Amino acid sequence: MAINLDCGLINNFRNKVNEKKFFQEMFRNVNGKNHWNVICSSMDWISVVADGLPVIDLKKPKGVGYDHLETLSLMQYIITVDILAEAIIQLFRVIDRGKPYPLSKSNEIFKQSKLSDDAYFKHLRAVFSTHPVNLNSVDGVKKEDGEKFFASWVARNMLGNDFYVVLYSNDPEKDKVNPLGINIKDINLYAEKRYNLLETLIEKVEQLNTEHINSKKVSIITSVTEPIKQLKILLEENEKRFGKNYGYANGLHYLYSLLMVDTSPIVNDFNKTIINEYRDFLITLIPEIKDGLQDMTIKKSNWKTPFQFGYEFEKIYMYFENEVHPVGKYYYNELVERGSLPSVAATCEDIGLKQLVLDAYLYKESTRLGRAVSFKEL
């Protein structure tokens, strides 16, 4: 009766959907619906099922009679399989864009012709687990005359089944009892077939990723000479290609923010030269990012090169990010007080200008040394 669910399969699927960040972005807003949340929820519950279903205490029943604890284990088992099936169906619904999932009409497991395996399993779930005292049919096909049925408690071994119940009608004229059995091997096969569809889903994710990459590669990015206009174009393209917060988003926002800084408070020619040289360097990075976006590849850009290292700089950049960080502000002002940075860096209110000044001086010094700079060295 042991079920065979390879936990590695759901792990492989999880890795595949997280492999490309733009895959997540493709599903965050589909006609006003967040399908990425559907995928995450389904993955989580499939992991729960793959880990937990094999250890539910449900053994091959011996003898006849009733065992209420065994019945509760059977209920738990069936509900867990139902969660698995529903999660797989949901994944196909959102990833395969509404197409019927491959087993939607299959009826090869439960050996009955009226219903699909999915519909008949729902009937078994109702009888043996969720609605035994409020049933609409004996065989899963709802009665048109409003006849209702009620299940007995679950018993072992009868009519060649692992478990069975007797269904009673609410019609006073019908005294016939209706036995209904269930075999765990059939439930296991039902679950395994649906779980193994993750292999098909992995292929579909890979196909979607490939199609997205190829379509963006042939979509030519507009080129303009003005750096700020080009950065705006690249930000829009990055969102289309990789997502708002992925790809080159951080680098583009960094370049845009520092190139937009008002440097008029810098009046000293020596300081101006250092800052202008750094901004010229930043402008040279724009074509690199554009090429990466066009090719749909994440290239290691020079803007990511660490010009500094150490605890003090870590706190300073937290100050830049949050604009309120006493320790970071203290270390920044210390650089000004000891002459490493011009005095205007301390007196100006513009956080962007403060960062531009520091980054420009760090760039100058790290270029001279050929390595990252420590706080004491600047």
β-bridge mates for residue 165, sequence order: 180
133/200 Cα distance (integer angstroms): 38
**pLDDT value, residue 75:** 95
**pLDDT value, residue 145:** 84
pLDDT over 80 at 297, yes or no = yes
Kindly list the domain boundaries of the chain, sorted by start residue. 7-203, 222-369
pLDDT over 80 at 144, yes or no = no
The most distant pair of C-alpha atoms in the chain lies apart, rounded to whole Å, by 104
Predicted confidence band of residue 6 (pLDDT cuts 50, 70, 90): very high
Residue pair 329/319 in contact by the 8 Å Cβ criterion:
yes
**pLDDT value, residue 362:** 94
The chain-wide mean pLDDT, for the chain, equals 92
Placement of tokens 């109702």 in the chain: 126
Residue pair 259/252 in contact by the 8 Å Cβ criterion:
no
Give residue-wise pLDDT tens across range 31-62: 999 999 999 999 999 999 999 999 997 776 66
302/377 Cα distance (integer angstroms): 21
pLDDT over 70 at 305, yes or no = no
pLDDT over 70 at 158, yes or no = no
Structure tokens at 114: 């009226």
pTM for the whole thing?
Answer: 0.86
**pLDDT value, residue 299:** 83
**pLDDT value, residue 302:** 61
Handedness of CA 238, 243, 244, 245 (dihedral sign): negative
Placement of tokens 């810098």 in the chain: 266
